[in-house]
Homo-oligomer: A and B are copies of this chain.
Amino acid sequence: MPRSLPPLNALRAFEAAGRHQSFSRAADELGVSHSAISRHVRGLEQRLGVQLFREASRGVTLTAEGSHYLDRIGPAFDVIDDATDGLSDTPMGRVTLNSEPTFAINVVAPLLASFERQFPEIELRIIASSAMADLDRYEADLAIRFTRSGVVDVPSDLISNARVYPFAAPGLVPDNVLLPEHLAQFRLYKDRGDDVWRWWCDVAGFDVTLPAQDGWRLRSALAQEAVIYGAGLLMASRDGVLRDVEEGRLVQLSQVGLSHGAFHLLTSGQAGRRKAVRQVRAWLLEQTIALRDH
């Protein structure tokens, strides 16, 4: 890098330390440790051959040279700050969300109209996919993924951990209350691949032998559609059937829920710095509060 200029990070450290008259407070502002600030500043002094600070009780004070230098470069940094912030208000306002299909279709898609009214300057592109997008390679800015264990190794927020419950078309099951014998009478559907019917029965205390699963359709909205028309019973999380339940097309057959993993909203460390991405993330988390059990 340019030999005529000192490391600009060191200049940044100096500017903050000079403004605060404190390495510790500069460190807080810049999000690093005080030792990083100390090293930057002393390295800068060595390089420039000028003492910029002298010790004071509880902090540092600027020397005459340091004060003069700060007077000159402080405003320059302010200009850079303002210019950079100004840019961020004109984002490539496109945010790409790569989501689990059921979540995309059942939760996100119905909210898009509202989103567009609220954020007309942001173009939210949704990719419904089960494949894990590489956020670090900018394939998507945000991703919604389902995990069973809850351990996620990238920056993420819990977006939904709703339990799964049995649902059916109203009236299909007498009094809309599921009994063990019903399980043999109706076709069983589910919104995910795991053996959630088996596991739910264990939790509910149903001592039955379930029929062998036939032709299960992986996360298919078609299954949900079929259940709405009385084709059988559906084991699903509330987020996936929220709208159908609200509009009376499905009813919940039991208060017993099965804890079965959670959906996480993953954020690229890089894209996460962009204002538009931060806005989308905040909006998603707000819109899905009801999907998170406490």
Contacts and interface: CB of A to CB of B under 8 A. Distances in A.
Interface string A22-35: 00000001111000
Contact of A270 (B54, B82, B275, B277): B54
Contacts of A8: 8-9, 11-12, 80
A86 B29 CA distance: 28
Contacts of A29: 2
B80 A73 contact: yes
A275 B77 CA distance: 25
B69 A73 contact: no
Q: Please classify the interface of chain A as helix (H, G, I), strand (E, B), loop, or mixed, using the class held by over half of its residues.
A: helix
B90 A50 contact: yes
A105 to B, nearest CB: 28
Contact of A76 (B45, B79, B269, B273): B79
A270 to B, nearest CB: 5
A120 to B, nearest CB: 13
A84 B52 CA distance: 12
B270 A6 contact: no
Nearest to A2: B30
A49 B3 contact: no
Contacts of A92: 45-46, 48-51
Contact of A69 (B1, B2, B54, B83): B83
B4 A85 contact: yes
A37 B92 CA distance: 20
Contact of A32 (B1, B80, B85): B1
A51 B274 CA distance: 8
B4 A12 contact: no
A282 interface: no
A81 interface: yes
A22 to B, nearest CB: 16
Interface string A146-168: 00000000000000000000000
Nearest to A71: B83
By Cβ-Cβ distance, the 10 closest A-B pairs, closest first, are A8-B8, A72-B83, A49-B92, A76-B76, A76-B79, A49-B274, A49-B91, A54-B270, A2-B30, A76-B80
Given A2-B12, A49-B275, A76-B77, 10 more contacts: A1-B30, A8-B8, A11-B80, A46-B270, A46-B275, A49-B90, A55-B273, A65-B87, A69-B84, A72-B79
30 contacts: A1-B9, A1-B31, A2-B12, A2-B16, A4-B84, A5-B12, A8-B11, A9-B9, A46-B92, A46-B138, A47-B270, A47-B274, A48-B84, A48-B274, A49-B90, A49-B91, A49-B274, A49-B275, A49-B276, A49-B277, A55-B270, A65-B90, A69-B83, A69-B84, A72-B79, A72-B80, A72-B82, A73-B83, A73-B84, A76-B79
